[in-house]
Amino acid sequence: MLAVVPPPVTVRVPAKVNLHLAVGDLRDDGYHDLVTIFQALSLTDEVTVGASDDPGVEVRGEGAESVPTDPSNLAWKAVRVLAEHTGRDPEDVKVRVGIRKAIPVAGGMAGGSADAAATLVALAALWKLDTTRDELAELAGRIGADVPFALYGGTALGTDRGDRLVPVLGKHPFHWVLAFDKQGLSTPEVFRELDRLRAEGNPPRVGEAEAVLEGLSSGDPRQLALLLGNDLQAAAVSLRPNLRRTLRAGVNAGALAGMVSGSGPTCAFLCEDGDTAVRVAAELAGAGVCRTVRVAQGPVPGARVVGAEESPRPTPPEVHA
Ligand X SMILES: Nc1ncnc2c1ncn2[C@@H]1O[C@H](COP(=O)(O)OP(=O)(O)OP(=O)(O)O)[C@@H](O)[C@H]1O
Ligand Y SMILES: C[C@](O)(CO)[C@H](O)COP(=O)(O)OP(=O)(O)OC[C@H]1O[C@@H](n2ccc(N)nc2=O)[C@H](O)[C@@H]1O
CB of 31 or CB of 251, closer to ligand Y? 31
Nearest of 295, 301, 289 to residue 270 by alpha carbon: 295
Task: Find all residues with CB under 8 Å of 119, minimum gap 6, and list them.
Answer: 11, 47, 49, 75, 76, 78, 79, 82, 97
The helix or strand, by DSSP H or E, that contains position 142, with its residue range, turns out to be helix 133-143
107 binds, among ligand X, ligand Y, none (CB under 5 to 8 A by kind): ligand X
Query: By the criterion CB under 6 A, which residues form the site for ligand Y?
Result: 18, 21, 30-32, 34, 36, 110, 113, 144-146, 161-162, 187-188, 191, 262-263
Residues of span 10-69 touching ligand X by CB under 6 A: 67-68
73 binds ligand X (CB under 6 A): yes
Could you give the CA distance from residue 107 to residue 180 in angstroms, rounded to a whole number? Answer: 7
**Is 114 annotated for ligand binding?**
yes
Q: Tell me which of 105, 151, 209, 284 binds ligand X, using CB under 6 A.
A: 105
**Other Cβ atoms within 10 Å of 274 Cβ, number:** 12
d(CA 129, CA 308): 20
The listed partner (ligand Y, ligand X, none) that binds 100, CB under 5 to 8 Å by sort, is none
What does the DSSP assignment read for 23-86?
EEEEPTTS-EEEEEEEEEEEEEEEEEEEE-SS-EEEEEETTGGGS--STTSHHHHHHHHHHHHT
- For residues 185 to 224, the per-residue mask of contacts with ligand X, x marking binding by CB under 6 A and - elsewhere, is --x-------------------------------------
Of 30 and 316, CB closest to ligand Y: 30
Q: Is 112 annotated as a binding residue?
A: yes
Nearer to ligand X, 148 or 258 (CB): 148
Beta carbon nearer to ligand X, 100 or 253: 100
Residue 256 found at the interface with ligand X (CB under 6 A) = no
Amino acid at 130: D
Report in angstroms how near the CB of residue 281 gets to ligand X at its nearest.
20
Residue 74 contact among ligand Y, ligand X, none, beta carbon within 5 to 8 Å by kind: ligand X
Q: Give the list of residues 6+ apart from residue 267 with CB closer than 8 angstroms, or none.
A: 178, 179, 181, 243, 246, 247, 250, 258, 259, 260, 261, 290
Nearest to 8 by CA among 313, 306, 310, 314: 306
Is 171 part of the annotated catalytic residue set?
no
List 16, 77, 101, 181, catalytic entry: 16
Interface with ligand X includes 232 (CB under 6 A)?
A: no
Active site annotation includes 146: yes
Between 10 and 18, name the residue whose CB sits nearer to ligand Y. Answer: 18
Q: Distance between CA atoms of 173 and 300, rounded to whole angstroms?
A: 9
Residue 229 or 276: which CB sits closer to ligand Y? Answer: 229
By a kind-dependent CB cut-off of 5 to 8 A, residue 67 interacts, out of ligand Y, ligand X, none, with: ligand X
32 binds, among ligand X, ligand Y, none (CB under 5 to 8 A by kind): ligand Y
- Measure Cα distances from 185 to 35, 54, 143, 242, 243 in Å: 21, 32, 19, 13, 12
Active-site residue, from 115, 146, 163, 231: 146
Given ligand X, ligand Y, none, residue 48, with its beta carbon under 5 to 8 Å by kind, binds: none
- Annotated binding residue 259: no
- Edge-first strand listing for the sheet containing 292-298: 257-260, 267-271, 174-180, 292-298
Whether omega for the bond prior to residue 299 falls within 30 degrees of 0, making it cis, is yes
Q: Which residues bind ligand X (CB under 6 A)?
A: 67-68, 73-75, 99, 105-113, 115, 146, 184, 187, 262-263
Task: Give the catalytic positions in this structure.
Answer: 16, 146
Residues annotated within a binding site for ATP: 104-114
